[in-house]
Amino acid sequence: MTTAITTRSAQRCFGGTQGFYAHASVSTGTEMRFAVYVPPHAAGAKLPALYYLAGLTCTEETFAIKAGAQRLAAELGLVLVTLDTSPRGLDLPGDSASWDFGVGAGFYVDATEAPWARNYRMYSYVVDELPAVIEANFPVSPERRGITGHSMGGHGALVIALRNPGRYRAVSAFAPIANPMAVPWGEKAFGGYLGADRAGWEAYDASVLMARTAFPGEILVDQGEADQFLATQLRPDALERAAAVSGQKLRLRRHDGYDHSYWFIETFVGDHLAWHAERLR
Catalytic residue set: 151, 227, 260
Radius of gyration of the chain (CA): 17
Do 11 and 107 touch, CB atoms closer than 8 A?
no
> Identity (one letter) of the amino acid at 203?
A
Listed in order, strand segments (DSSP E) in 27-184 are 31-38, 47-53, 79-83, 140-149, 170-174
Do 142 and 266 touch, CB atoms closer than 8 A?
no
Closest CA to 85 of 140, 28, 46, 44: 28
CA distance 238 to 87: 30
- CA separation, residue 212 to residues 28, 118, 162, 208, 217 (Å): 30, 30, 10, 7, 15
